[in-house]
Structure 1
Amino acid sequence: MSIHTVSGTAEEASIGFTLMHEHLFMLSVGMYERWPHLLDRDAAVAAVAAKVSRAKSLGVKTIVDMTTPNMGRDLSLLTEVARLTDVNIVAATGAHPHEPLPLYLQGVVGDAADGIDPDRLADLFVHDIEVGMDGTEIKAGIIKTGSDPVVDENNTRLLLAAARAHLRTGAPICTHTHAGNQVGLQQQDVFANAGVDLRHVIIGHCGDSTDLSYLTALADRGSYLGMDRFGYTMPGRATLTTSQRVEVVAELCRLGYASKMVLSSDSVTWSDVISGDYFAEHLPDWNLAYVPNTVIDHLKEAGISDHDLYQMTHVNPATVLSGRRGGS
């Protein structure tokens, strides 16, 4: 089955080693349509292409960019990086819960706001998937949604929009969660009640949890676990270390859950509000190279078999992106 990338469709067999949750560009929404001189597009593309090429040299063939429109998704930048690097880039539709949506999508009538309209939002997701994004014929390959720190009313509407778009198109869903509050279970409830087969859902940021009972409960209901924050270790913040994250993945593999996990870093490669110096000083391992260059070796040292590593980095991503149903 074919998979939508920013360069066109790719066959499932060509997907290869896949980073399932990254952000190549994060831009301030609306800035550069109005003041294009503020963005040196060539420099931004060159910087990101160099880091994508580094990941490619380590075996990465596909990157799923989870940047939604309200996070500053820019297809022209993504397509140029794909052209320069010959790496598959899958772009997302959807909406992130931490970023504002246009008033058009918030049901504003006169001076009263009725809240996000899930059906209106779902229509836009479907257009991105079936027609094309941003006035192009480039189709989204995945739906991103989320809830944090809890599943409140507006978050529920975002989840419902994703669910309804999935049911109309078959596109997979990936979520942003607050693992500490076990938000993934609430998200699964919303999806299941809307009629979604949870085998088409990745519950994101599961790698932020060491609670095996929570993680196995998510997987036992059918969803994939996004072990997707490798390298995100901030001094002074309650983030897990790489060794903690590795041990959780290793233990889940020992319990037989390799077929329900995907790996990534959720890294931001280029941002107009976070400097490269900040990343270098505070998050030196939070990048596209960390999983293939370091994490895989740590998992091998923890006793994870080549079969399970291949399952998590090749088979599971291809299964999700192709719309096939993974094993429960």
Structure 2
Amino acid sequence: MTATTSTNTVNTVLGPIPADELGVVAVHEALLSVIPGAQYAPDISMDRAEIFEILAEKLTDFRDNGGKTIVDSTGMFHGRDVNLYEALSRSTGVHIVASTGMGPEEMLGGYFLTPQTNPPTPWPAEKFADLFAKEVTEGMVVPRVERRGAAGMVTTTATRDGMTPTDESLFRGAARTALSTGIPVSIRYGADALHDLDIVLDETLPANRVLVGGLDRKDAAAGAALEVARRGAFVGLDHVGLDDDEDYLTDRERADLVLELVKAGHGHQVLLSSNAIGVAKGQPDYDLPFSHVVSTFVPFLKSLGLSVEDAQRILVDNPRDLLTVR
């Protein structure tokens, strides 16, 4: 009898792997986060050997606590270093899924804000879609050098005060990339999670290919997470471990929200992460272990009544379903 192999794969920096090999996944972290331009500042060190050692230690801790895959959600121009990530993955054995995409508008370089028409209009969605899709079909850009492995996610963010026309182009371009390549979209909403989700759904992207992140912000607590789940998208509670910020829920409040979502029948849509930064340049450090969700928060959830099966679903099954190329 001939064994059959699954064709379901996920794009990692070392190439496609079977989706069933992902194991426990941290779905929204930053390995190396560099505010654009900081790499040129004379007071900021970009010692690659030092950066490698710091990240290797943190990824090894993640692995030793049961983690197997980490998603770097920085997008194209916030420090993503594909060569570095390849070396880290080979060294530590942790799968790394890197992302394409960019945003919000205020963080774009001048080229991407250059008017494209007369009278001026923002970059059109199809130009962003072409840019992002090539990072999947041809490989992620190492500027002026080469293309490397395929992006495994397209990520974008809206302006906190509300989506701008350029943000909308980014969101629509991200949705079109997902439709044409099969990778998922991760969005971080601006002022209104449901409005911003509707923008990508308007592009006919199925809701189950969308992760709406930041739903542990306090301004989303009044039912937004539950409504996002009802619409069929994944619910990202991705600041786990952030317990002292007035804009975000505490971990106890996050835990209550997870249990509420599971009780309402949406356990298959919950995703957890910490938005931790392995190495930060040009911005404050956020030195939370990548392992915090699996080592600390999920055991806390279990102590409050989360079942072993639901914990497995949230840590393994849900991210696998999201990241599988479809």
Q: Same fold (TM over 0.5)?
A: yes
Following TM superposition, by how much is the alpha carbon of 1:10 offset from its aligned partner in structure 2, in angstroms? Answer: 1.1
Residue of 161, 166, 175 corresponding to 1:154: 166
Following TM superposition, by how much is the alpha carbon of 1:25 offset from its aligned partner in structure 2, in angstroms? Answer: 0.4
Q: Pairwise mapping of residues 91-170 of structure 1 onto structure 2 (< 5 A)?
A: 91-97=98-104, 99-108=106-115, 113-134=120-141, 135-147=146-158, 148-170=160-182
Change in 2 beyond 3 A, CA 1:161/1:109 = closer
Q: For the Cα contact (< 8 Å) 1:105–1:121, is it kept in 2?
A: no
Give the match for residue 290 of structure 2. 288
* TM-score, normalised via structure 2 length: 0.89
Give the match for residue 283 of structure 1. none
Query: Partner amino acid for 1:243?
Result: R
Q: For the Cα contact (< 8 Å) 1:106–1:113, is it kept in 2?
A: no
CA offsets 1:73-118 (integer angstroms, 9 cap, x no match): 1112212211211100000000121653233333436997522222
Distance 1:323 1:212 in 2: 33
Unaligned runs of 5+ in 2: 1-7
Distance 1:188 1:176 in 2: 9
Q: For the Cα contact (< 8 Å) 1:65–1:91, is it kept in 2?
A: yes
Residue of 311, 315, 318 corresponding to 2:317: 315
Give the match for residue 219 of structure 1. 229
Partner of 1:154: helix, strand, or coil?
helix
Which stretch has the larger CA shift, 165-174 or 105-114?
A: 105-114
Partner of 1:10: helix, strand, or coil?
strand
Q: For the Cα contact (< 8 Å) 1:225–1:261, is it kept in 2?
A: yes
Distance 1:29 1:213 in 2: 35
Distance 1:70 1:137 in 2: 15
Residue of 205, 208, 211 corresponding to 1:202: 211
Q: For the Cα contact (< 8 Å) 1:70–1:100, is it kept in 2?
A: no
Q: For the Cα contact (< 8 Å) 1:108–1:115, is it kept in 2?
A: yes
Partner of 2:216: helix, strand, or coil?
helix
* TM-score, normalised via structure 1 length: 0.88
Residue of 196, 199, 205 corresponding to 1:190: 199
Q: For the Cα contact (< 8 Å) 1:18–1:314, is it kept in 2?
A: yes
Following TM superposition, by how much is the alpha carbon of 1:290 offset from its aligned partner in structure 2, in angstroms? Answer: 1.0
Give the match for residue 15 of structure 1. 22
Following TM superposition, by how much is the alpha carbon of 1:275 offset from its aligned partner in structure 2, in angstroms? Answer: 5.6
- Root-mean-square deviation (CA, aligned residues, Å) is 2.2
Following TM superposition, by how much is the alpha carbon of 1:312 offset from its aligned partner in structure 2, in angstroms? Answer: 0.7
Identity of aligned residues (%): 27
Query: Partner amino acid for 1:306?
Result: V
CA offsets 1:287-319 (integer angstroms, 9 cap, x no match): 312111110111001100011011111001111
Distance 1:79 1:228 in 2: 24
Decide which structure has greater helix share.
Answer: 1
Unaligned runs of 5+ in 1: 281-285
Q: For the Cα contact (< 8 Å) 1:96–1:146, is it kept in 2?
A: yes
Which stretch has the larger CA shift, 184-193 or 55-64?
A: 184-193
Query: Partner amino acid for 1:230?
Result: V
Q: For the Cα contact (< 8 Å) 2:105–2:167, is it kept in 1?
A: no
Give the match for residue 5 of structure 2. none
Partner of 1:95: helix, strand, or coil?
coil
Distance 1:33 1:321 in 2: 34
Give the match for residue 262 of structure 1. 271
Give the match for residue 298 of structure 1. 300
Change in 2 beyond 3 A, CA 1:132/1:104 = same
Which stretch has the larger CA shift, 63-72 or 47-56?
A: 63-72
Distance 1:92 1:17 in 2: 18
Partner of 2:77: helix, strand, or coil?
helix
Distance 1:101 1:75 in 2: 20
